[in-house]
Structure 1
């Protein structure tokens, strides 16, 4: 419709009279207004686990666009090395994937950006979203800062006048019609970054979700001890399917129908681990993986939802093309 309206507008400018031009301009404006307003009239919401390589990023939008949240941003893990090995134009998931994705959805600003913990593959692109004024509110777990560099994101938010809130067990995070119950962490104790991950429970389209960040078996045990009746239809598997997460006790208690795993294709950590995949198979859990299926989308409305997958986006190949383009 947009292409047709643009064509008719140009055709009217070239050959048409005033009446034809006015009709074409009105048609173009009507189509544009429809495209802008359509999400706010749609009864469908969505949850998209984005294919961003080795990392986590989940976008959630409520029906009628009454609330938009991104949980983690992904990020490229860098390793110290000699200066000549450093790329002059490093690949940015935020600029190449996240912002184009939000633009494609018509999302000007996220109602909330939730960072589960301060690992680079979860928060590495938060700065891009903050600097581009795409975030209204930043939410981190209590005890988010484990080392000096973790403070940088909070300082950046402050510089851009973005309010920051610390969440802990028992809190409820609200963004429009979206609500998340915080199950962990309880306090800013001396636990590892992974076991200090923000653990969130929510319901989307009548289906319960448990988002676990990089929670490992010790953290899972504590959550089960605190919430002995906890169930979840959809489990975001902790730590990209690492064998130190998604324990048998966790699966036995939750009884999920499906597990989502965000991992990079042929990643160096060999995530997801075969032991985890075997455990999921034993408990008859359907597995959806970004390294196999690409972006995983769940579209939902009141009491109904459907999963679909999109062709894998080979981020390593894209990075290689960027390097080649720069060299040329």
Structure 2
């Protein structure tokens, strides 16, 4: 009598055992080790052969189920205790790009973070957090690996430069090359009436050149705030006459100022002393750079053009003139520098060619000589002056020169604040040139055309300023006088009334 074979013969058992061991091996490789060990214990706990076959089937089902559960979790990191904060997937370089992975709970560990090979991104791992940071434009595919083999799905990150974004839509132009070293400068010729104030901005850096008179000081401060100025990197006083200096004191009080540049002379006025005291109160000092010194301002630079030497008796010729260079474009600001200072600039050998010339001394005849115009050869001229000012600025002789050279003209008395913007190659303006070459005074008939030939001479130019009333100013005090004996002045100085007012003096009530 033959013996009856037990259920689940050896052939079937061998196949099931092989499949079971294979599932166990895969489960262990997948880190599904807890149910795998449970299945092994369940299989071997009983010796009965029939139970073994049944237990083998049950254990295989457990192992296979655990395997599929953990495979599914590979695409869902959150199920394994990892929180992925992807955020947005398109950034500009200027953004603070951070993609964080935070373990939850605290005992979950991120072993590594992998990215496609791309030099734009860097990985920093600290205190259980992984942060990707981007330095330049490009694309990167990112995925995370945690607890050995639990991964997130692939995530594509695109980083573009700000210059690629469309100004209107904010969309990027992927095909447009970007010049990260592009030059850019914005020059504001602020309308301060009969005075001068110029704001220069480049890559978040700010320069203020003169600040207008007392009546426009608060306006200049407000204007700078509207242009989002918080720090003035360079505050330059061309010279210390009231119509150039007063507003700078307001700027010193309203903004964080890094550097102050001025002319190296002492102006006998209370306004000058107030300026010096304010500079000192900000723990600054007035710097007196030499002709030819160059300073960086964002992606642009400016060069000191004057004064070559100091003239204690003539404030205007002490003006600090500068040339702003932005790529191929140049802007020259001369304060109230007159023809003598212009001659020194020409003799310095510095390249004076420019695109934009802000005329000296508000377009008066004492500045903007033929020699200086022929050396600078500007395409555009800007005159900062007040409408119907008492000095008759700008002068007909100066305007005739501009007209004869076909220099496009902007005037603050006719057009208000004028803004020029350069990308290093081209200059754009907020308005068209007025090309109004009419003098400030309708009585100004001009004189004979000046010549650059040193062998020739012309009749002296009797301007309105030279013909106006003369007054006396004291060594100390704030009033000007019609006679030298008023108020017991000692060693008074005679100047024109306009010069006295420009220095901050007011009329004496006794003699006026």
- TM-score if structure 1 supplies the norm length? 0.72
Q: Which has the larger radius of gyration?
A: 2
Match of 2:267 in 1: 146
In the alignment, structure 1 segments of 5+ residues that lack a partner are 1-32, 35-40, 77-91, 313-328
CA distance in 2, matches of 1:152, 1:171: 27
| Counterpart pick for 2:185 among 18, 37, 45 | 45
1:71 equivalenced with 2:209 (yes/no): yes
Segment of structure 1 superposing worse, 110-119 or 225-234: 225-234
Residue aligning to 1:288: 410
Cα distance per residue 1:107-153 (max 9 Å; x no partner):
1121111110001000111111112234222111222x232532331
Q: Name the residue aligned to 2:322.
A: 200
Match of 2:312 in 1: 190
Q: State which of 330, 338, 346 in structure 2 corresponds to 1:216.
A: 338
Q: Which has the higher contact order (CA 8 A, sep 6+)?
A: 1
Does 1:98 pair with 2:214?
A: no
Residue-by-residue CA offset, 1:33-88 (whole Å, 9 max, x unaligned) = 99xxxxxx6775310000110100000101x31x2101000014xxxxxxxxxxxx
Whole-angstrom CA distance in 1 between matches of 2:269 and 2:413:
32
Match 2:387 to one of 241, 265, 273: 265
Structure 2: which 5+ runs fail to align? 1-93, 96-161, 164-181, 435-512
CA distance change for structure 1 residues 73 and 235 in 2, over 3 Å: closer, same or farther? same
Partner residue of 1:55? 195
Contact between 1:142 and 1:168, CA under 8 Å: does it hold in 2? no
Secondary structure, counterpart of 2:429 in structure 1: strand
What SS does structure 2 have at the residue aligned with 1:167?
coil
Equivalent-residue separation in structure 2 for 1:255 and 1:72 (angstroms): 24
Counterpart for residue 10 of structure 1: none
Instruction: Verify the 8 A CA contact 2:306 2:319 in the aligned structure 1.
Output: yes
Coordinate RMSD, CA, aligned: 2.5
Partners of 1:269 and 1:257 in 2: CA distance: 26
1:1-328 alignment, distance < 5 Å: 45-62=185-202, 64-65=203-204, 67-76=205-214, 92-95=215-218, 97-143=219-265, 145-149=266-270, 150-190=272-312, 192-204=314-326, 206-227=328-349, 230-309=352-431
Matched pairs, number: 255
Counterpart CA distance in 1 for 2:313 and 2:348 is: 17
SS of the residue corresponding to residue 277 of structure 1 reads helix
